Structure 1
Amino acid sequence: MPLFQNATFYISAHNLSDLPPPAGVEVAFAGRSNAGKSSALNTLANHNRLAYVSKQPGRTQLINFFSLGNDRFLVDLPGYGYAKVPEAMRKHWQMTLANYLSHRSTIAGLVLVMDCRHPLTPLDRQMLDWFGPSGRPIHILLTKSDKLSRQAANQTLQKVRKELNETWGNCTIQLFSSLKKQGVEEAEGIIGQWLFTPEENIPDTMA
């Protein structure tokens, strides 16, 4: 059974004041609009409509919490970088994301989703700059890897990995395809280690 099979919607927050009290463990998912973040969440949870997927970028406008039980949460952050979002809303998202990633004590790690055809955009780098100083781990999903040949995808993987290691450190990275369901077990293995300590009962997929 997939590690996040039992994920259920918990709460949405527009402002930091709407967040649930910090308790337990959270794994945050961030990414540029239309990079495939919601699709990746749905694929990991084996649930077609856990996170809303739209062909129109910029639809995830709230911080959405999904509960795994036992105070474990997946947190879907608003997609960033969509040009048609009003300036006031873009500034609100920027401030909210920066504060959440910099100060939320319960975040165990950040999953940063990038389209493998357009990795490390200026806003992706900004997210890394916000979260990197926390010292907590970052895992990069290079999504839509099925859109590239295997050779091109692997070349992108190596190039991005090199820059991550040189500039930010504490990052892991992989290729991922929601369409082909490729890379799911690798992602589960890394994220599961953030969510569950060795002393806890880890789901069968982690055994």
Structure 2
Amino acid sequence: MARSWPVHNNRLLDLGLTVLHEPRPPDLPAVTRVLMRHADTGDSQRRAVAAGIRTLLAGPKITRSNVERMQLEEMEAAEVQVHIRPATRGLRVVRKDPASRLAHDATSDWDEFAAEIDTALAADLDRDVLERAAAVVRDGGLIDPPGHDAIRHALRGCLRRSSLAGSADQEPRHSVLHLRCRVPRRTAPGKDR
């Protein structure tokens, strides 16, 4: 017996729900209307949307706040605008599965990264370059964006000097700077890799 709805539809739904991972999605009312319209097309679609919401409610803090804001502020208006069936109105009250664990919040990773930068053993000149480079890395740069070449070259120079090279090789968490700046990792004296 053939399925009444294509299998790839659920994958498209999952892909569409990724917009809720962004901090403050730009057009949450439109996203909500599309989601409600899709959920109203059938029982299996409504169950798929509810499952997607449950999964998102177990995600990182930004995702959870987006979904909660969508449920509290946008769904009621979308229900009226889209003219959905009463069975679909239950999406407003979908909650996280109690058995699922909350996803790790990425901001704590950045806090640990900042603590590593703060505690790195570096001279004052090296520290300034390291802090500027860390800010660029946190913003997602240093691989190919224009305008960061000066920081990249300064960081490479600092990493070649002994004070910063020793601190960068001290902990494996500093390897993000080596990876982002395409600088080969140096081993600390007396260590073999």
Pick the TM interval, shorter chain.
under 0.3
Q: Determine which structure has more spread, i.e. the larger CA radius of gyration.
A: 2
TM-score (norm 1): 0.24
TM-score (norm 2): 0.26
Q: Which has the higher helix share?
A: 2
Q: Which has the higher strand share?
A: 1
